[in-house]
Structure 1
Amino acid sequence: MTEQAIELADEASMVAFGESLAALAQGGGVIFLHGNLGMGKTTLCRGVLHGYGHTGAVKSPTYTLVEPYETSKGRVYHFDLYRLSDPEELEYLGIRDYFDDESLSLIEWPERGTGVLPQADLEISIERAGAGRRLSWQYNTEKGRKLADKLSEVRVILP
């Protein structure tokens, strides 16, 4: 599987890319988001949620671990596992109930849930690239392959 990537200049580009991702991810799936603190994982999630039609604020669920969103285009779960001390804590959260074929799950810091989380359809890594960010992705499932192929055609157009 070939890694694909795009460089984004700023926060507005990250949100626009997230909106494009939302349009392509209709129908659900599991997306892992990798990157150090401050790389823009939550900003990307904000773009996805805007793309799903959410108009309110999007905050990082660092303390609650998950923030559910019911939108006109479907259900989105935004997970932030940064403060998770043991993957087994996810069992107490009822983690398995969140994953179904219709919901989109965006998971920040997925490595902290290793052994409990389902396999990701798509994994996106974010790293610094000059003043902007470089996003690279790879797929793990057939659903992820289709999404990755479509994502490779995305060109971020800013308003």
Structure 2
Amino acid sequence: MCKKTITSILIVAFFWLAFSETLFALQNDNSISAQLKKARSDYYEGHFEQAQEIVMKLLKSGTLNSEQQFEALIILAEIRRAVNDEPGARKIIRRILEIKPDYNPTIEQEPPSFVLLVQEERRALKKNEKAFYQNKKFWLISGAATVGLFGIILLKNGNGGGQDNILPAPPDWPKE
């Protein structure tokens, strides 16, 4: 009787632990979604500080999945743009484009000024990327030229030909 009771308790405890974690994760996910909706609602109502507080708290918690983090960053970028902090908004938009490079909002999804800001930042990132690769080409060509120059110098001074002593030997010191 005692073994059956202990076995039953262990089985119930196992299933309770297995399913409670899943239920907790779902509940937490719903809570995060509700907080993101609240932040967006506060943003639309003009309560920018409250919306930013909610979003920053969520981002700092580290419990967001990538889609939730993406949504939180969009809300935060919109808030920064609304409070006339364009450099801050651009920085956040760069982070958004790092997470989802193909992010291309439409006017139906986001305010037109935000869509324009995203497009400008995408163009700026492409320019920076192009400049990086042009710089890379410069350094590769410079490095190859340097290696070639050192190779010529070493071959010329070795058995490859040329004069061994370019300058004549200095005169001897006078003897006293």
Is the TM value for this pair above 0.5? no
Under TM normalisation by the shorter chain, which class is it?
under 0.3
Q: Under a length normalisation based on structure 2, what TM-score does the superposition of the two structures give?
A: 0.23
Between Structure 1 and Structure 2, the one with more helix by share is 2
Between Structure 1 and Structure 2, the one with more strand by share is 1
Greater length-normalized contact order (CA 8 Å, ≥ 6 residues apart): 1
Q: Under a length normalisation based on structure 1, what TM-score does the superposition of the two structures give?
A: 0.24
